[in-house]
Amino acid sequence: MLPDKCSVMKEGKQCLSPPEFIVSIIDNKDEYMVGVTCAKCKEIVSGKIAILQKEGKIHEGKISFSEVKAVGTDCIHGDEEDFVQIDMNRSKN
């Protein structure tokens, strides 16, 4: 099951937009789902993922956005517990 809202949190508030893209990391042949995002938050998410990768918090690899409708979830590893909470407050240093 996919979450029903975007994974981005801005200024302490969860983005309530419905997810339009599944965010995943592609590492060789494996694909790891890390979250979902609405179209508006796509840029934020790719920036944030890059930071998390640098910090070693999530898998290294190429960030991929797949349209929610186009994806069959059974070919992607991971479940909701693996999702990162994308909290924008943390990147303000």
**In the complex, which residues of this chain contact Zn ion (CB under 5 A)?**
6, 8, 15, 17, 38, 41
In angstroms, the CA 89 to CA 66 distance is 26
Nearer to Zn ion, 11 or 74 (CB): 11
Q: How far is the CB of 46 from Zn ion (least distance, A)?
A: 13
3-state helix, strand, coil in the chain (%, to 5): 30, 30, 40
CB 40 → Zn ion: shortest distance, Å? 5
Closest CB to Zn ion among residues 18, 77: 18
Compute the Cα dihedral for 40, 23, 86, 6 and give only its sign.
positive
